[in-house]
Chain A
Amino acid sequence: MFEAHTLAIVFAALMGLAIILYAILDGFDLGVGILLPLGDKEKSDPMIASIGPFWDANETWLVFAIGLLLIAFPEAHSYIFKELYLPTAFLLISLVLRGVAFDFRAKAAISHTATWNRVFKVGSLLAAMSQGYMLGMYIMGFQSTVIAYSFSLLSAFGVAAAYSYIGACWLIMKTEADLQVRAVAWAKKSGIICFIGIVLVSVINPLINPGVYDKWFESSIMYLMLPLPLLCFVLFIYSFFQLKKLPTQDDSYCWVPFACAATIFLLCFIGLAFSFYPDIVPNKLTIWEAASAPESLSFILWGAIIVVPVIFAYTVFSYRVFWGKVQELRYH
């Protein structure tokens, strides 16, 4: 059997994995939604097609992450969502709207398609911003101060930019011709905003949270962690140089920006996780204080050990089936 201390760490790690996968996977499809050009069917149809087979499963990672929080750390789940009651409602409504708009836009009468496109774009943007706002409030320890609200607002824009950035990189990989050129331009613009956002959060977070400051600048493992922001910086610079060269003649390297963006997301997430671990609610609750009974966690862990690798296998399968460019759209 597993003991309580280890179980809490295992579940925190599993939840972290679900969150980062969600941020990357739903990040790109929310980003594509944010970038959707209205009234330009030539571009918007292939853009939607590029995320069509994936978005249902991508959003499921959010359910998984929140589900894990609910199952493994119920006290933290109650605390966080009580604090974030209205932003959560806002996020959910946005996600619902964009999800259904995706299906309705293709199936509703032609005259309504434009409306659903608009709903899809606005829903994606609001969902990204709500997530950013919630992240901001989390980092600020749910304070009700002007500083906390302003920081969260900033974070809202930062996350929207980050999703647009990874969405644009996805499009560079999945599309070609005019649309690919547009996507490169989008990636450059949103990449810069995303970069500024990351720098601001990285500076403000340790300044506001003394515990975070100590971790990054006083602890014994700081030398292990300090290369992380540096690596992030290098990746940004590298991907900007790559973006300048794209699109290439034979379309080589079209996957590089997406790989860079995904790695940047991962590094930022590790940075945040390192800042707060082992707190699951900053300065209030540790993962051990919030964890469920070990007999419940063991029961579900056995399932996870079997099922999670299977999920990975068929996620890879599904992405392979739809590998390559979205091009000649077939209209039946």
Chain B
Amino acid sequence: MLDTLMLSRIQFATNISFHILFPTITIALSWFLLFFKMRFDKTNDPVWMRAYRFWVKIFAITFALGVVSGITMSFQFGTNWPKFMETVGNIAGPLLGYEILTAFFLEAGFLGVMLFGINRVSQKVHTLSTFIVAVGTSLSSFWILALNSWMHTPQGHEMRDGVAFPVDWLAIIFNPSFPYRIMHMLVASGLTAAFLIAGISAYRLLKGDDKRAPKLTLKIAVTVAAFLTPVQIFLGDMHGLNTLEHQPQKIAAMEGVWHTEKGAPLLLFAIPNETEQKNDFAIGIPKVASFILTHDFDGEVKGLNEFKGNHPPVAPVFFAFRIMVGIGMLMLFIAWVSRIQLWRKDELSPWVLKMLLLMSFSGWVATLAGWYVTEIGRQPWLVTGILKVKDAVTDIAPTNVGISLTFYIALYTVLMIAYIHTIFTMAGRAIEIEEISEEEKGEPVKDAKNTIDINYTTKEE
């Protein structure tokens, strides 16, 4: 039988994994939308409006899922992890508070104008609303990642009677792992949104959609992806080096290094064997892990043996890391093949379109895998050196946690199916609609002052 600790961990992981999927899309998708809108303002070419209108609907539904799954988060700390706030609440509280104050409200407040207000405010105000929503989503990630990074690499506080008190807020916010983590996450969001846009646009082209909008969005998304993948690989490497400095046990688990060694191999595949402290079926490239981590083929990599009883479980970190990197490489390949094809003949061959369609949600998998690496990699600590996960958990009966967890899992399964199904339904519907309807050929409709475009989905695009 699972105990309250394990059930609470599974529940928290389930909730936050489900939640993070949606902000990962909206953070970057909002900037894509701003770009579409600004191009429309500048060129007055209705194709940009088509692109905006189609993607703003997907933004709305994604944002809604982000909001509702985010509400769950603000309750969870108290329900399942009371000692977390009791120990580090003086640090975590204000960071969460700023997230809600500056970001959440900014997004939610202007979202109404962004989604429904296009005929009610001037184009300028509407574009500005889109901009504010984009800033809001990015600010959101700023505060949340500041807190998360502080949990990995805490500084700027002092402990009094087992409770953390803030001393230097700038040091707390800009803790050592924060700059790397936030850049890595923002670019991850960019890639997730780019591959989603590319995948859905490819789907429409494959289904015979002959309009300009999907071709245009495909081109933009692929270009962004081709640019961001190498950037992300570089940032990931920097982040890894930062982790090596502050959390070497996490790196040891990622690389499957059981015993400190010089010239450690880069393991492409292996099955970590926790009981015997070694890897089974290992296939690796000699010395490359040492080279990546120390920039010296014979550099020394600290092994898990140096962190007895104080290192994460190896297998999940090891595999999650390989999944993340594997998808990253696949993204690099496909993005560049697409970009080169577009450059040479201005269209994509069917197999590339199919690959892009298959990879519509690849950003999700890579992002989750990356988060599992870093979060499981922090175990057994909740806040490194300050609070262990097992000491933070509630004393609620396991049955209660079991009940709530069952409900959450059932709910999230249904929502996930509905979300993906709805996106493809919307894409399918968009195929059958004419490129530009009569009324949209001229200026944006002026006589529509008092209407809300509630069914902004039924027919357009």
Residues of A that sit less than 8 Å from B by CB: 45-46, 48-49, 52-54, 56-57, 59-60, 62-64, 66-72, 74-75, 77-78, 80-82, 85-86, 88-89, 92-93, 95-97, 99-100, 102-104, 106-109, 292-293, 295-296, 299-300, 303-304, 307-308, 311, 314-315, 318, 321-322, 324-332
Contacts and interface: CB of A to CB of B under 8 A. Distances in A.
A329 B455 contact: yes
- The majority secondary structure among interface residues of chain A is helix
- The majority secondary structure among interface residues of chain B is helix
A67 B97 contact: yes
B334 interface: no
Contact of A322 (B79, B120, B448): B120
B418 A57 contact: no
Contact of B459 (A54, A103, A332): A332
Contacts of A325: 450
B93 A100 contact: no
Interface centre among B104, B419, B454 (most CB of A within 10 A): B454
Contact of A97 (B96, B169, B411): B411
B111 interface: yes
Contacts of A78: 78, 82, 85-86, 394
9 contacts: A46-B454, A53-B112, A70-B77, A106-B454, A107-B57, A108-B421, A296-B94, A296-B165, A327-B451
B86 A74 contact: yes
B70 interface: yes
Contacts of B460: 332
A49 B61 contact: no
B450 A70 contact: no
Contact of B108 (A60, A69, A107, A109): A60
Contact of B404 (A46, A85, A107, A108): A85
Contacts of B407: 89, 93
B85 A56 contact: no
A329 B459 CA distance: 14
Contacts of B96: 67, 70-71
Contacts of B91: 296
Interface in B435-461: 437, 448, 450-460
A100 to B, nearest CB: 6
Given A45-B454, A75-B86, A318-B113, A107 B61 contact: yes
Interface in B45-87: 57, 60-61, 63-65, 67-72, 74-75, 77-79, 82, 85-86
B71 A62 contact: yes
Contact of B454 (A49, A66, A69): A49
B94 A71 contact: yes
Given A52-B116, A329-B455, A303 B68 contact: no
Nearest to B437: A332
Given A64-B100, A71-B93, A104-B61, 10 more contacts: A53-B116, A53-B117, A60-B109, A62-B71, A67-B96, A70-B78, A89-B408, A107-B457, A108-B425, A296-B89
Contacts of A70: 74, 77-78, 85, 89, 93, 96
Contact of A292 (B90, B400, B456): B90
B102 interface: yes
Contacts of A322: 112, 116-117, 120, 452
Interface string B306-323: 000000000000000000
Contacts of A48: 454
Contact of A56 (B63, B454, B456): B63
Interface of B: 57, 60-61, 63-65, 67-72, 74-75, 77-79, 82, 85-86, 89-91, 93-94, 96-98, 100-102, 104-105, 108-113, 115-117, 120-121, 163, 165-166, 169, 394, 396, 400, 403-404, 407-408, 411, 415, 418-419, 421-422, 425-426, 437, 448, 450-460
Nearest to A46: B454
Given A88-B75, A314-B110, A96 B456 contact: no
A311 B105 contact: yes
Given A103-B60, A107-B425, A325-B450, A96 B69 contact: yes
Contacts of B112: 52-54, 56-57, 318, 321-322
A75 to B, nearest CB: 7
Contacts of A45: 454-455
A284 to B, nearest CB: 15
Contacts of B85: 70, 74, 77-78
B110 A332 contact: no
A293 B411 contact: no
Contacts of A296: 89-91, 93-94, 165-166
Interface centre among A67, A96, A324 (most CB of B within 10 A): A96
A89 B405 CA distance: 9
B400 A104 contact: no
Nearest to B410: A93
Interface centre among B70, B109, B117, B120 (most CB of A within 10 A): B109
Contacts of A49: 452, 454
B453 A330 contact: yes
A92 to B, nearest CB: 5
A234 B63 CA distance: 42
Listed from nearest, the 4 A-B pairs whose CB atoms lie closest are: A53-B112, A71-B93, A78-B82, A74-B85
Contacts of A62: 71
A60 B459 contact: no
Nearest to A86: B400
Contacts of A54: 112
Contacts of A74: 78, 85-86, 89, 93
A300 B93 contact: yes
Contacts of B452: 49, 52-53, 322, 326, 329-330
Contact of A63 (B60, B100, B418, B453): B100
A179 to B, nearest CB: 14
A52 B61 CA distance: 12
Contacts of A86: 400, 403-404
Nearest to A45: B454
A292 B71 contact: no
